[in-house]
Amino acid sequence: MADKALAGKRVLLLEDEFLIALDVEHICRDEGCAEVLVFRALAEITEDVITADAVDVAVIDVMIDGGATFDLAHRLRDRNIPFVFATGLSQREEAFQAFEDVPVVTKPYAAPQLVAALRSAMKASEPSSETAPAS
């Protein structure tokens, strides 16, 4: 059995396009995800939802109802919850400058691209375990 990148993980998904949300949920489940919390609007995401106890990783659409989701991105970052941006915007947009280290998947994207981005986000958020080599 292949290594499942999301085995046992709880994923927050903010996506207002129903078919895209359904597809992302399916991808996450195929990768062994324990739960996918799907939200279609920023107002649905309360503070108790974005805790490390409730969510392991997130996929957030950059634009929801015509507004940017960067405030949510800052809140996730402040709580050390790794996340990936999903967008139809160019990664070179000025808005992404504050999040240069965050993986971005450009719509339309395939399952391998999303899984790789999630894996990268989770790996980047892991505490560094570098130690000095033994003599």
Domains and CATH numbers, the chain: 10-89+100-125 (3.40.50.2300)
pLDDT value at residue 82: 96
Q: How many Å apart are CA 10 and CA 45, to the nearest integer?
A: 15
47-99 pLDDT, tens per residue?
A: 999 987 899 999 999 999 888 899 999 999 999 999 999 988 765 666 677 88
φ, ψ of residue 41 to 5 degrees: the values are -145, 150
The gap between the terminal CA atoms of the chain, to the nearest Å, is: 38
Report helix angle 18-30 to 111-125, nearest 10: 70
pTM of the model: 0.87
Q: Strands 63-64 and 35-39, how do they pair?
A: unpaired
Q: How many Å apart are CA 62 and CA 64, to the nearest integer?
A: 7
